[in-house]
Amino acid sequence: MAHDSILSALEKRELPLELPTPHLAELRGAFTSLYLRGELRGCVGYALPKESVWRAVAETARAAAFEDTRFYPVTLPEAQALEIELSILSPPQSISADAIEVGRHGLLITMGAHRGLLLPQVPAEHRWDRVTFLEHTCRKAGLPLDAWKNGAKIEAFTAEVFGDGNDRAS
């Protein structure tokens, strides 16, 4: 679905809207990460469930390919070589800093209008400890590194992570 969503946008054709299974109708948060030759090429998603898994994958794949401002839009030759990783999220729930499990939890840190999110696989890939994970999530939110100790709201979620070349749950 993610590949087809990107290719249909490039080829200016309609995307099929048929649901293959009822499970994909569930409302879930989702992120699509695109990789080209092992390097990140785009990553966009929703932390909160606002669309069905099916629609969330289609929308986040297109957004990762064409709207992630860190990268130029994906071209047709690139699209055909992309590796895609999907993270389907559980609803975020408040958690104490001491209860965070690196590699199991993703984090959403909010303070005022600032919000930062890191997926569960990020700290595991970088071999961060819990404090470093919290600090990087604060940084992503544009907050001081210690905001997690000073009133920022900490929420955790888990993710079913799968895609081209991997099948794992976090």
Residue 97 class from Cβ within 10 Å (0-12 exposed, 13-18 middle, 19+ buried)? middle
Decide: 4 and 65 in contact? Cβ < 8 Å.
Answer: no
Nearest alpha carbon to residue 84 among 115, 108, 62: 62
- Please tell me whether residue 121 adopts helix, strand or coil conformation: helix
Q: How far apart are the first and last CA of the chain?
A: 21
Domain termination site, one of 74, 89, 104: 89
**β-sheet bridge partners, residue 33:** 43, 85
Count structural domains, the chain: 2
State the CATH number of the domain containing residue 28. 3.30.700.20
State the CATH number of the domain containing residue 138. 3.30.1490.150
Higher-scoring residue by pLDDT: 142, 21: 142
Residue-wise pLDDT tens digits, 86-126: 999 999 999 999 999 999 999 999 999 999 999 999 999 99
d(CA 112, CA 151): 10
Q: Same domain, yes or no, for 78 and 106?
A: no
Confidence (pLDDT) at 148: 97
Q: Is residue 170 part of a domain?
A: no
- Please tell me whether residue 44 adopts helix, strand or coil conformation: strand
- Please tell me whether residue 160 adopts helix, strand or coil conformation: strand
The two structure tokens encoding residue 95 = 């958690």
Confidence (pLDDT) at 167: 41
Q: 97 lies in which domain range?
A: 93-159
Q: Same domain, yes or no, for 14 and 47?
A: yes
| Owner of token pair 């984090």 | 107
Residue 167 class from Cβ within 10 Å (0-12 exposed, 13-18 middle, 19+ buried)? exposed
Residue-wise pLDDT tens digits, 15-48: 766 666 777 888 899 999 999 999 999 999 998 8
The two structure tokens encoding residue 68 = 């992630």
Q: Same domain, yes or no, for 62 and 109?
A: no
